[in-house]
Structure 1
Amino acid sequence: MPRHSTLLFLALCAIWGTTWIGIKAGVEVVPPLLFAGTRFTAAGLLLLGIAAWRGEFELPARQDVLRFGATSLLMITLCYAALFWGMVHVDSGTGAVLEMSLTPIALMGFALWLREEVFDRRRLAALLLGVTGLAMLFGPTALRSWAQASGEGAMLRLAGAAAVASAAVTYGWGSVVARPLLRRYASIFVAGSTTLIGGLLLLAISLAAEPGAVSALGGQWGAAAWAGWVFLVLFGSLIGYTIYMTLLREIGATRAGTYAFVSPIIAVLLGMACFGEQIHPLDVVGMAVMLAAAALAMAERKPGPRRATSPSAFQKS
């Protein structure tokens, strides 16, 4: 893989591995959909402003309008509405296993279905290896949580798990749908358009149906929530989402999606460093397996052996 793409991939993993801090700070005091909707709307406006300043803003062609709308709906609105609702009802371990393991699988599945990529057994093996590592890292916590649930709580957790799973599927679908746009428009313009449209739709849903959303528009969130919001706008969306769009164009959905095997490791290490969370031997093994999976998926395929050619074919007569 080109060095430029490798550096972008590592930057994406680092950024999206730290966004959970901002999300946690915000959703503890702000209605989740409102928090997400305002974040994406602000990021979209900033991205489009930068695109205009760089001369990369252009009105989409008529045949691309529907694709822009579908990408926004799938990657932002449906994904984050389901993810944030689901995370209210499942523990972080269950959510991590479902969302992080299903995202690269969905990316590969839709890339093959929509013929954006060809089947690659090595990358399939990398996905299976990565899912195994995720299960080792977060599986014990998820199993303990499910074992303790009963009655109505168990049903809500099941519904929450289904919502988190659907978020991974819609995100993967939207990512693959977006790739043709990235061949015709600048990454920053696609990122800005989809985050703005998706964010506005999230805001509409929040204000119509989310308890406390209207009053929360007053902005009395507190310093921690506002700091998290600014971090998510500038790093999670403005920088991270643009990098992701660039990687979709340059290396494809399957390889770009392997950030899901590296970002959780960064999150776990930050939890240990910032909050004193413990890491067990099985966690270390799981993280090593996930890193191996990412390396396997990102490695370039070696060219096959060349056929021997008769020397006389190239000899001058």
Structure 2
Amino acid sequence: MPSRTTLLFLVLCVIWGTTWIGIKAGVEAVPPLLFAGTRFIAAGVLLLGFTTWREGLPRLAWRDLPRLAATSLLMITLCYAALFWGVAHVDSGTAAVLEMSLTPIALMAFALGLREESFDRRRFGALVLGVVGLAILFGPTALRNWSVTAGDGAGLRLAGAAAVSWAAVVYGWGSVVARPLLRLYSSTFVAASTTLFGGLLLLGLSLAGEPGAIPALAGQWGAAAWAGWLFLVLFGSLIGYTIYMTLLREIGATRAGTYAFVSPIIAVLLGMVCLGEQIHLLDMLGMAVMLAGAGLAMAEPKPKSQLKPATN
């Protein structure tokens, strides 16, 4: 029977593999930063209320405030501001390859650099498998789309690709920075605080300079955008982000980050079911390699057998 950790990991993969539906519905009608900021603020308020009702608000030590602020800034504000802007200027295949491959790489790099984890050959092998699978699944489409439009706004596309890459890096950095907080406070409290503070900063950025942000505050977004917003608040943030924080605390950033090898498979399968998209043999190969990488990372290492002393 799967362990609790494995079940949480699978739930996270399914949730974050379906959030693209809500994001796509929202950003087509609402300025992206406003859409993201209001989503995180709503999720943060709800989570903070739930945390207060269930366990009461913890006494937050002053020395932990800088780390909490850094986590909010990295994982929410800087990540999603760059991600949403970058996705608007590169094709989805390129964005998928960059973000989903760089996120677990950044998680491992920062976990090792900040001494939150030690090097593990098995996890490194899982990372290599996952990145290779992502390249097989999304690489051909990304290269084809990039070459077809070569010379037409290439500079802006490069900037968009750089923004998506930056989003993956700061998300990995923030995840590792957050882990010491998760040893002191509950995952729901850390999730609530970071989403609320990060969302407020996103909203401030949107209102300060995003075209169309102030008129969009009237809320005339349309049914599809509001449905996407509610889905992202309830599932993407309230449930998904809290589960991710729990996994960060329990299994570390490197293993938790391998959701990036499973969520794209969920998205591809949903595209096949909902949009009639075709899956080819090469796609299936890429998905199989990605699943192998995630499975290797999540598998519990076997305890080393102890040699029994010889008896005469």
Whether the TM-score (by the shorter chain) exceeds 0.5 is yes
String of CA shifts for 1:102-140, please: whole Å, max 9, x gaps: 000100110011111110011111101100000111001
What is the deviation of 1:58? 1.7
Q: Which amino acid aligns with 1:251?
A: I
For 1:9, the equivalent position in structure 2 comes to 9
Larger CA Rg, structure 1 vs 2: 1
What is the deviation of 1:311? 5.2
Q: Which amino acid aligns with 1:195?
A: T
For 1:217, the equivalent position in structure 2 comes to 217
For 1:39, the equivalent position in structure 2 comes to 39
Tell me, in whole angstroms, the C-alpha distance in 2 between the residues paired with 1:142 and 1:56: 48
- Does 99-108 or 50-59 show the bigger shift? 50-59
The change in CA–CA distance for 1:45 and 1:170 in structure 2 (over 3 A counts) is same
Task: Describe how 1:238-277 pairs up with structure 2 within 5 A.
Answer: 238-277=238-277
Tell me, in whole angstroms, the C-alpha distance in 2 between the residues paired with 1:59 and 1:41: 22
For 1:306, the equivalent position in structure 2 comes to 306
Tell me, in whole angstroms, the C-alpha distance in 1 between the residues paired with 2:137 and 2:283: 5
Gaps of 5+ in 1: 313-317
Task: Describe how 1:160-309 pairs up with structure 2 within 5 A.
Answer: 160-309=160-309
String of CA shifts for 1:170-211, please: whole Å, max 9, x gaps: 000000000000010011000000000000000000000100
Write out the 4+ residue segments of structure 1 that deviate beyond 3 Å after TM superposition: none
SS of aligned partner of 2:293: helix
Tell me, in whole angstroms, the C-alpha distance in 2 between the residues paired with 1:134 and 1:151: 26
What is the deviation of 1:2? 7.3
SS of aligned partner of 2:183: helix
Tell me, in whole angstroms, the C-alpha distance in 1 between the residues paired with 2:92 and 2:70: 29
Gaps of 5+ in 2: none
TM-score (norm 2): 0.98
Tell me, in whole angstroms, the C-alpha distance in 1 between the residues paired with 2:207 and 2:224: 23
Q: Which amino acid aligns with 2:21?
A: I
String of CA shifts for 1:24-77, please: whole Å, max 9, x gaps: 000001000000000000000000000000124224101100000000000000
- Does 155-164 or 140-149 show the bigger shift? 140-149
For 2:147, the equivalent position in structure 1 comes to 147
TM-score (norm 1): 0.96
Contact 1:56 1:189 in 2 (8 A): no
Paired residues, what number?
312
- Aligned alpha-carbon RMSD (Å): 1.3
The change in CA–CA distance for 1:56 and 1:2 in structure 2 (over 3 A counts) is farther
For 1:315, the equivalent position in structure 2 comes to none
Tell me, in whole angstroms, the C-alpha distance in 2 between the residues paired with 1:150 and 1:264: 26
Tell me, in whole angstroms, the C-alpha distance in 1 between the residues paired with 2:49 and 2:152: 47
Contact 1:56 1:186 in 2 (8 A): no
For 1:58, the equivalent position in structure 2 comes to 58
Q: Which amino acid aligns with 1:81?
A: A
Tell me, in whole angstroms, the C-alpha distance in 1 between the residues paired with 2:8 and 2:130: 20
String of CA shifts for 1:141-164, please: whole Å, max 9, x gaps: 100111023335111111100000
String of CA shifts for 1:62-93, please: whole Å, max 9, x gaps: 11000000000000000000000000000000
Q: Which amino acid aligns with 1:55?
A: E
- Does 179-188 or 151-160 show the bigger shift? 151-160
Tell me, in whole angstroms, the C-alpha distance in 2 between the residues paired with 1:56 and 1:2: 32
Tell me, in whole angstroms, the C-alpha distance in 2 between the residues paired with 1:197 and 1:4: 30
Tell me, in whole angstroms, the C-alpha distance in 2 between the residues paired with 1:79 and 1:244: 16
Q: Which amino acid aligns with 2:276?
A: G
Tell me, in whole angstroms, the C-alpha distance in 2 between the residues paired with 1:306 and 1:54: 44
Tell me, in whole angstroms, the C-alpha distance in 2 between the residues paired with 1:199 and 1:259: 23
User: % of aligned pairs identical?
Assistant: 77
SS of aligned partner of 2:57: coil
Q: Which amino acid aligns with 1:121?
A: R
What is the deviation of 1:300? 1.2
Does residue 116 (structure 1) correspond to residue 120 (structure 2)? The answer is no
The change in CA–CA distance for 1:184 and 1:2 in structure 2 (over 3 A counts) is farther
Tell me, in whole angstroms, the C-alpha distance in 1 between the residues paired with 2:111 and 2:195: 21
String of CA shifts for 1:226-269, please: whole Å, max 9, x gaps: 00000000000000000000000011100000000000000000
